[in-house]
């Protein structure tokens, strides 16, 4: 249904000055974190817009199709390499800034409201805890980000079928962790995340580096992480600094 024919009562509850920003994929072990920024022209309203986490895959797809037709939006991502180098929090900020930079080609960036807390973006913004369930435009951004990321991961599924990525979207399910233990990681995994880090070895990193699959900065980041831990008799990683303090 075209947005312009929607309920005037529901439209009146929306602050159309808001640009909503949200991300998808902070928790997975594989792939990028994806962010979206959404702006709606005055009076635009679409049914079925809610926090992407509470929508079924079918409902998310339907809402996504309505949003891309009726909204102005930008999409940004941060790669697994950037996540490893900058950490997931700062990589999320990077993805959000990229989404806003795209949107800035179409609208003036003002009154940005972003789901979460403590995020510092390049544009003046306000963090709203659980904003994806409170602010209409943030809900829309959560849907765009989630569907976009899911589609990216589904394309990787054919490249790495042994990991069953289309099923769990890269999240740390038992199935995914067992596949990591059996097959080892890919360079599209987040190497600094503990379940992945525990399956790495320096020979694999050396090979990726020599083949140009990872940058020197990412390679050195792994070496730094490796130097900060030790392996106990059970094969578990422990921080050397923690052991020193406890001693």
∠ at Cα 91 (213, 215), nearest 5°?
20
Q: How far apart are CA 35 and CA 97, in angstroms?
A: 9
Which mean pLDDT values do the consecutive 10-residue runs of the chain (247 residues) have? Answer: 45 87 97 98 91 91 96 97 95 98 96 94 94 93 97 96 97 97 96 93 93 95 80 46 42
Number of H helices, E strands in the chain: 11, 7
Instruction: Estimate the crossing angle of helix 57-70 against helix 136-159, to 10 degrees.
Output: 120
For the chain, which domains are there?
3-157 (3.30.420.10), 160-246 (3.30.420.10)
Q: Which pLDDT value is given to residue 2?
A: 43
CA distance 161 to 212: 23
Supply the pLDDT for residue 10. Answer: 59
Q: What pLDDT score does 1 carry?
A: 39
Query: What local confidence, expressed as pLDDT, does residue 12 receive?
Result: 64
Q: What is the pLDDT of residue 24?
A: 97
* Contact status, residue 229 vs residue 238, Cβ threshold 8 Å: yes
- Give the model's pLDDT for residue 225: 85
Q: Which pLDDT does position 230 carry in this prediction?
A: 57
pTM of the model: 0.87
Q: What is the pLDDT of residue 236?
A: 47
pLDDT number for residue 245: 39
pLDDT confidence of residue 243: 44
Q: What is the DSSP-derived secondary structure letter of residue 56?
A: -
Determine the pLDDT at residue 67.
Answer: 97
According to the model, what pLDDT value does residue 246 have?
37
Q: For helices 216-227 and 202-210, give the axis angle rounded to 10 degrees.
A: 170
């Amino acid at each position: 249904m075209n947005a312009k024919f929607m309920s005037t009562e529901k439209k009146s509850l929306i602050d159309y000055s808001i640009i909503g920003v949200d991300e998808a994929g902070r928790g997975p072990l594989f792939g990028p974190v994806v962010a979206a920024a959404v702006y709606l022209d005055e009076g635009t309203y679409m049914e079925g817009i809610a926090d992407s986490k509470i929508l079924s895959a079918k409902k998310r797809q339907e809402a996504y199709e309505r949003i891309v037709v009726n909204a102005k939006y930008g999409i940004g991502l941060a790669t697994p390499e950037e996540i490893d180098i900058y950490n997931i929090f700062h990589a999320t900020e990077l993805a959000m800034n990229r989404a806003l930079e795209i949107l800035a080609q179409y609208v003036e960036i003002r009154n940005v409201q972003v789901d979460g807390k403590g995020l510092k973006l390049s544009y003046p913004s306000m963090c709203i805890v659980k904003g994806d369930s409170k602010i209409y435009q943030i809900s829309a951004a959560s849907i765009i980000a989630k569907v976009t990321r899911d589609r990216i991961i589904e394309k990787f599924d054919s490249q790495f079928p042994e990991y069953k990525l289309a099923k769990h979207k890269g999240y740390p399910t038992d199935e995914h962790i067992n596949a990591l233990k059996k097959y080892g990681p890919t360079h599209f995994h987040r190497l600094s995340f503990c379940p992945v880090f525990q399956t790495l070895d320096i020979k694999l990193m050396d090979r990726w580096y020599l083949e140009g699959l990872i940058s020197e900065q990412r390679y050195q980041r792994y070496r730094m992480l490796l130097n900060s831990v030790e392996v106990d008799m059970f094969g578990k990683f422990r921080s050397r600094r923690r052991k020193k303090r406890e001693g």
